[in-house]
Amino acid sequence: MERVTVSTLLLTFHKILKKNGLSLIELLIAIFIMVLVVGAAFSVYVLVVKGYKGESKVSETVMSLQWAEEIIRRDVEHAGCGLFTKLTSNITYSEADYTANGISASSFNDAPSGVPRALILSDEAYTWSSNFTSDWLVIKSTRVADNEATRVWGVYDAEREAYTPIGEGKEERVWGVLLQIEGEELKLFVSGEDWCWRVKVSGGSISDLPSGLPSALFLFFGLRSESDRPARPFHRVDYFVSVPNGGLPEKCAPATGILYRVLLRNDGKADYQPLVDCVKDFQVAVKFGNSWVRSLIVPPEQLRGKVSEVRAFILAQEGQKFEQKLTDIDKISIGDEDVGILKEVGLSEEDKYYRWRVLKIVARPVLLKGEK
């Protein structure tokens, strides 16, 4: 059957009018029919556009959650990588010097001279909106900052003056640290007040090392390529939910925030990296020994061999607001059969017009892994 369009209708009316003429009533009826056809076509167009936008927003959420899952898993797996576990000389370094919504990140510092804790979890530590809180997760490692320098690492045999590169980085000039292997301990090499050096790494060779290295095996970890010295012998990222100064994206439901990955800068301030928009909550549980814990703030030596798994849960909005209610439930439980219910998040009447999804992320810190 031939497709009827507005243009063909007008052409037909024009032919009829030219041939026979139309009465006023017939003309009004013809116009009325044309308006109905145009209105129906426009309604279909609006529905198609709305459907496309809705699916587009859902796709954005799915992609951002997948990206967040990969990033969080990678950071947790690298927790403790490149960290020293033993100090024989005093050192001084700086760490976090920023606040988020009135909460000081320095609460999780090991500066100015402590052995760094690879993993810190504070339960419901961050109040990001009125009556809304989330967990605060801290991970310390040389590898949480992914750049050309941190991809440079390897083993240096000081007795044979032989370097074996392990990382994939090809940077020639990098600031880095030397960790002496002493049994199960990694001792930070310190000379005077210096604890990092700018060395030249080229293929299987390393030069411009400090003098006075004992005849031992060392691990070398790159930190940064810039000319200024690193502020600390590791990198750090913090995870929490917060609301930006400019407000949330228009699609977001009220009382939601953004899950941020905050990378600590050399000056102690923070680079906020948004991972997921429209987040209702962020909860974390850690398998510590034989128990799942919701808060983990212990000395660094108590972490090794005792942390076997980390599970993070993100409650996020999926898509945009619907015209009708999608649910009548009053709360969403976060957790699973192993960790239990970490939190029950209440839903307002407004929230029930949105679709919600809980993403579970399972990660195992390789260097902190204990018996399962």
For 110-126, the DSSP string reads: -TTTPPPPSEEEEEEEE
pLDDT digits 0-9 by tens, 221-263: 999 999 999 999 999 999 999 998 888 889 999 889 999 999 9
pLDDT recorded at residue 24: 62
Sites in the chain below the pLDDT cut of 50: 1, 49, 52-56, 371-372
pLDDT recorded at residue 36: 73
Amino acid at 323: E
pLDDT recorded at residue 46: 53
What φ, ψ does residue 142 adopt, rounded to 5°?
A: -75, -20
- Whole-prediction pTM: 0.83
pLDDT recorded at residue 331: 95
Q: Which residues of 332-369 are buried (b: 16+ CB within 10 A; e: fewer)?
A: bebbbeebeebbebebeeebbbbbbbbbebebbbebbb
pLDDT recorded at residue 369: 78
pLDDT digits 0-9 by tens, 107-150: 999 999 999 999 999 999 878 777 788 999 999 999 999 899 99
Positive or negative torsion for Cα 121, 275, 241, 95: positive
- What are 271's two structure tokens? 């680079």
Are 275 and 126 within 8 A, CB to CB? Answer: no
